[in-house]
């Protein structure tokens, strides 16, 4: 058992490699703007500066370093000497998380204007809303067996009858479906939470004329009411045993039925919504499914049923985002069991994801594909390969990075774009399904 544990530890440990100068410059510019004189500082910051620590943590996340000893050895202080594990532990204990939050928000604001030329959502629909976003949460698994973890495991076994170890906390994320950028995020140390507990927080995030695509876990009448009051709109799957009163059938075809309904439990909680029931939606392995969506946009001309179905299909992009920050960026293996340290790691990983995603958007625009099609894993592997070449330090801009990748792979797009045969077949089936939903538009 001990040998197996050591093997797993070796597999999870990353190896430092040279990030592009463009990546470092983008990060350093953001840090300089955030870390103003006297605003954020470390205790005894003559040797270990707050800017140096921010840069170390984000670059470590970008290189998938998940062990503190490796992170410490890779970083250097103001005197050019490497960190030690004890130094890094002490700096993290005395670290001001507000500095990392400020850097995260500044990075989001810097990349808000990065637009993807090609998108799975139609331009006519995107122009009708301020933004089309998806919200979801993910639980981080804690590997270490600390007393806190054992206590939580016992409580979970008694209450939930589940032995799954989930004490790394809960991350709530909102992404824009237009460019796959993270718009909002929060971390909660308690992993045993329900998405409906985040209603107040979500309402602070949502802006006017925003279309929010959610999973069934956020099904809450308070959230519905808050979104409608903010003059925003939502799409969410219908939960079973919900009281529904059909007022009028707006449109019915071979594939779907669009109805105007009232949803609620009490007379004071009646909401006028649209219910879209559609069948034959393609799934993996030649399967089909039947789904029912609730849409707060009552006007079918502003949000047609086929476009609502297409928007909900794009909700899967946030699951891809979680998979990318957990696997290629190693958030699946936490640095520490301390909640404050985990929160710092989450923010550093999200900042690294945003910078990587900026490169994905540029590559997608250059080759005329969707951002979803560009693989973050392939980009990370390509940058690793480029770091081994001579003259790599001369590549100082993002355009030169793309050109170097293009020259390295011989102008081939196959290594940068996800080209799984099963994924391509499923995508073709879905596109033909969407065309069948609206034959006049397709013609």
Task: Indicate the domain borders of the chain.
Answer: 111-323
Quote the pLDDT of residue 109. 93
In this prediction, residue 441 has a pLDDT band, given cuts at 50, 70 and 90, of: very low
Look at residue 101 and tell me whether its pLDDT is greater than 90. yes
* DSSP H or E stretch at residue 251: strand 244-252
Give the separation between CA 319 and CA 134, rounded to whole angstroms: 10
159-210 pLDDT, tens per residue?
655 544 456 888 999 999 989 999 999 999 876 677 888 999 999 999 999 9
What is the arithmetic mean of pLDDT over 143-171?
Answer: 62
Give the separation between CA 131 and CA 128, rounded to whole angstroms: 9
Lowest mean pLDDT among 16-20, 39-43, 145-149, 160-164: 160-164
Give the separation between CA 117 and CA 119, rounded to whole angstroms: 7
Quote the pLDDT of residue 236. 96
Question: What are the DSSP calls for 307-322, one per residue?
Answer: HHHHHHHTTHHHHHHH
321-331 pLDDT, tens per residue?
999 999 889 88
In this prediction, residue 416 has a pLDDT band, given cuts at 50, 70 and 90, of: confident
Quote the pLDDT of residue 2. 34
Q: Report pTM.
A: 0.88
Beta strands in 264-315 (DSSP E): 271-283, 287-295
30-83 pLDDT, tens per residue?
998 888 766 776 655 556 788 888 999 999 999 988 788 888 877 776 677 777
Quote the pLDDT of residue 435. 87
In this prediction, residue 415 has a pLDDT band, given cuts at 50, 70 and 90, of: low
367-378 pLDDT, tens per residue?
888 888 888 888
Lowest mean pLDDT among 34-43, 342-351, 393-402: 34-43
Beta strands at 256-263 and 271-283: parallel, antiparallel or unpaired: antiparallel
- 3-state SS assignment for residue 183: strand
What is the arithmetic mean of pLDDT over 426-431?
Answer: 86
- Please classify residue 259 by burial: count the beta carbons closer than 10 Å to its beta carbon, then call 0-12 exposed, 13-18 middle and 19+ buried: middle
What dotted CATH number matches 111-323? Answer: 3.90.350.10
285-318 pLDDT, tens per residue?
777 788 999 999 999 999 999 999 999 999 999 9
Look at residue 9 and tell me whether its pLDDT is greater than 50. no
């Amino acid at each position: 058992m001990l040998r197996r544990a050591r093997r797993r530890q070796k597999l999870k440990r990353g190896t430092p490699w040279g990030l592009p100068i463009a990546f470092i410059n983008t990060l350093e510019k953001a840090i300089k703007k955030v870390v103003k004189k006297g605003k954020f500082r470390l205790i005894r910051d003559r040797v270990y500066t707050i800017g140096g620590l921010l840069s170390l943590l984000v670059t470590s996340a970008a290189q998938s370093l998940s062990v503190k000893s490796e992170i410490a050895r890779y970083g250097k202080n103001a005197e050019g000497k490497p960190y030690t594990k004890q130094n890094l532990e002490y700096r993290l204990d005395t670290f001001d998380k507000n500095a990392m939050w400020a850097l995260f928000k500044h990075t989001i604001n810097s990349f808000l204007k990065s637009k993807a030329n090609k998108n799975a959502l139609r331009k006519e629909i995107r122009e009708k809303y301020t933004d089309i976003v998806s919200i979801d949460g993910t639980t981080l698994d804690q590997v270490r067996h600390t007393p806190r973890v054992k206590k939580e495991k016992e409580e979970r076994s008694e209450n939930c009858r589940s032995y799954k170890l989930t004490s790394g906390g809960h991350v709530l994320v909102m992404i824009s479906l237009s460019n796959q950028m993270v718009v909002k995020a929060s971390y909660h140390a308690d992993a045993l939470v329900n998405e409906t507990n985040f209603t107040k927080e979500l309402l602070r995030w949502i802006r006017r004329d925003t279309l929010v695509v959610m999973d069934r876990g956020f099904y809450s009448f308070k959230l519905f009411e808050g979104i409608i009051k903010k003059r925003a709109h939502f799409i969410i799957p219908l939960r079973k045993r919900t009281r529904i009163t059909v007022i009028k059938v707006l449109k019915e075809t071979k594939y779907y039925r669009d109805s105007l309904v009232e949803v609620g439990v009490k007379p004071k909680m009646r909401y006028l919504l649209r219910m879209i029931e559609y069948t034959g939606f393609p799934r993996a392995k030649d399967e089909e499914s039947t789904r029912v969506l609730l849409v707060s946009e009552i006007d079918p001309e502003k949000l047609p049923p086929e476009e609502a179905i297409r928007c909900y299909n794009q909700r899967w992009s946030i699951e891809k985002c979680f998979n990318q920050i957990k696997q290629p960026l190693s958030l699946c293996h936490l640095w520490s069991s301390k909640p404050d340290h985990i929160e710092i790691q989450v923010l550093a990983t999200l900042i690294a994801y945003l910078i990587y995603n900026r490169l994905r958007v540029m590559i997608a625009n250059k080759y005329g594909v969707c951002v979803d099609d560009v693989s973050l894993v392939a980009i990370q592997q390509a940058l690793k390969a480029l770091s081994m070449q001579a003259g790599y330090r001369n590549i100082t801009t993002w355009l030169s990075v793309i050109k170097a990748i293009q020259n390295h792979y011989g102008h081939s797009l196959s290594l940068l774009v996800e080209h799984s045969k099963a994924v391509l077949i499923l995508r073709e089936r879905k596109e033909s399904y969407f065309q069948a939903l609206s034959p006049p538009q397709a013609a």
